[in-house]
Amino acid sequence: MSDQPASGAGDQRNGRNLPPLRLHVPEPQFRPGDTADFSSFEIPAAGEAPRPDEAAHPGTMQGLVYGLIRVLDDEGAAVGPWDPHLPAETLLKMLRAMALTRAFDERMFRAQRQGKTSFYMKSTGEEAVSIAAATALASDDMCFPSYRQQGILIARGWPIIDMMNQIYSNKGDRLKGRQLPIMYSARDASFFSISGNLTTQYPQAVGWAMASAARGDTRIAATWCGEGSTAEGDFHSACTFASVYRAPVILNIVNNQWAISSFSGFAGAEATTFAARALGYGIAGLRVDGNDALAVYAATRWAADRARANAGPTLIEHFTYRAEGHSTSDDPSAYRSADEGSHWPLGDPIARLKQHCIRLGIWDEERQAAMDKELAEQVRDAAREAEKNGILGHGLHHHPMETMFEDVFEDMPWHLREQQQQMLDEAKAAGL
């Protein structure tokens, strides 16, 4: 008797009678020329999401990674269990910082277009993600940002002229022209150096948080990345360490719908939410309306309290929208609908917080207009002062040549001292 399978079974086993496999390629809803329509988006009502105890087990929070924590309703009222009941002073402080960040962005964008710097990235439409979070954190909690969280520095009162000096890479730049414009570093503001390599800040933040816990300190860490960066290996290794060691860290994912030119589906948005990635790691997960400053504040404060109680890390997805180009090097009209931003259903974070403050009777349109004018003038004056230190193209001799060897080692090794001297000798011989 033959031990060969029947021909039909063999054909089936070899796939001859099966349909061909197909590769799924994600496709955005709207392309250039299309009319954007977000009516299919399921936007839960404000105040609908439950607020668990900060020490709750991650497994009990599954609904929070698929829903959307919202506090501000369509009329600007704060509703539901996540309402942080902030005093007027805090609300107006956040509103001012958000407006200052937008004014700063506008000025620096124009400066790049005028050839005063090589590069800039705006955070228009995402101001609440950084400013409300920074307000909810302690001033000395360590922040490990991505490249669109300039609002953290502004919320912490960092001088905007110092930020401008860095953007211009001029003689006032504390980083001495070594970093790409907008990649700030401010140790005194507990603001870790921004890196152009995506998501390196995630394992750095987790490691810092672990060290803080090992020392018995009280400071926690928070880090931010875009939704596209969750596909990086560093994101997943950071989640593993954070989960295993219950690191006191907040892992923020800014889901602004678009990477440079690819939509969030390429990072997995078609399959599930980004907050749902917390489930597989046993981490608490929250999905938040990123254009609702009160919701961002409340979720961040909840996560910070959880971390300080040694209950472990929290992953927060901020559901928002990148209103403008990825950077000054990008033209979004080449890959997305021109009117997409105007149809975004969650509105503008500054307008929504302003509406809330007006509803409370602590603000009005006249004071908003006066503040916007004041901030525009403040940014203009700071830019003029920064430009006195130099701008792009003014000889590029803003820092002595020998500084390229400095600030790497506490004590410069002998071989670098030799190389530095050789460079200076050759420069002198060449008349430089």
The tens place of each residue's pLDDT in the chain, 432 residues long, gives 455 555 544 455 565 788 899 999 999 988 899 999 998 888 999 999 999 999 999 999 999 999 999 999 999 999 999 999 999 999 999 999 999 999 999 999 999 999 999 999 999 999 999 999 999 999 999 999 999 999 999 999 999 999 999 999 999 999 998 899 999 999 999 999 999 899 999 999 999 999 999 999 999 999 999 999 999 999 999 999 999 999 999 999 999 999 888 889 888 888 999 999 999 999 999 999 999 999 999 999 999 999 999 999 999 999 999 999 999 999 998 999 888 888 899 999 999 999 999 999 999 999 999 999 999 999 999 999 999 999 987 655 677 888 888 888 999 999 999 999 999 999 889 887
Closest CA to 288 of 224, 217, 193: 224
The backbone torsions φ and ψ at residue 411, rounded to the nearest 5 degrees and listed phi first, read -120, 120
Token couple for 141: 């909690």
Asked if residue 242 lies in contact with residue 303, where contact means CB atoms within 8 angstroms, the answer is no
Residue 57 has a CB neighbour count (10 Å cut-off) of: 12
DSSP 349-366: HHHHHHHHHHHHTS--HH
Instruction: Please tell me the pTM assigned to this model.
Output: 0.93
**Pair of tokens at residue 34:** 């299309």
pLDDT at 407: 87
Q: Look up the CATH superfamily of 58-328+337-387.
A: Thiamin diphosphate (ThDP)-binding fold, Pyr/PP domains (3.40.50.970)
What was the pLDDT predicted at 10?
47
Enter the tokens of residue 50. 């439950």
* 174, two tokens: 């504390």
CB atoms within 10 A of CB 157: 10
